[in-house]
Amino acid sequence: MRILILMGAGALLAIAADQATLDRGRKEAGLACTPCHSLRLVESQRLSRATWNKELDKMTGWGTKITDREALLEYLVANYGDDKPPSPPAMSKNGVPPGKKQ
């Protein structure tokens, strides 16, 4: 019984740690990626851990400052891994002025 309680507490701690990492990763995505492109470009992709890791190498090579790379990678894999369902397509709003001939 005592062992079970200890195991349960350990699992809770592990989940909490993961969530903290994912939160740090989300924040890092906002800081590191958005000077050059919107987050939608990231969030519309579904890639394996190895491929996301290579993307981070590429972006670092292009001058992106990533301070919390480990958390960023975990965040990308957890939310935009290749096992996740594709995101529904987003549409822009109509930018054609009313009355303009199309």
Binding mask 73-92 for other proteins (x = CB under 8 A): ---------x---x--xxxx
Under rule CB under 8 A, residue 99 binds other proteins: no
Instruction: Name which position in 3, 4, 5, 63 contacts other proteins (CB under 8 A).
Output: 63
Q: Which of 48, 15, 43 is nearest to 29 (CA)?
A: 43
Residue 47, interface with other proteins (CB under 8 A)? Answer: yes
Binding string, residues 4-43; x marks residues near other proteins by CB under 8 A: ------------------------------xxxxxxxx--
Of how many residues is the chain composed?
Answer: 102
Q: Going by C-beta distance under 8 Å and a sequence separation of 6 or more, which residues neighbour residue 43?
A: 79, 80, 87
How far is residue 52's CA from residue 85's CA, in Å, rounded to a whole number? 16
Element (H, E) at 25: helix 2-32
Residues lying near other proteins in the complex (CB under 8 A): 34-41, 44-48, 51, 54-55, 61-64, 82, 86, 89-96, 100, 102
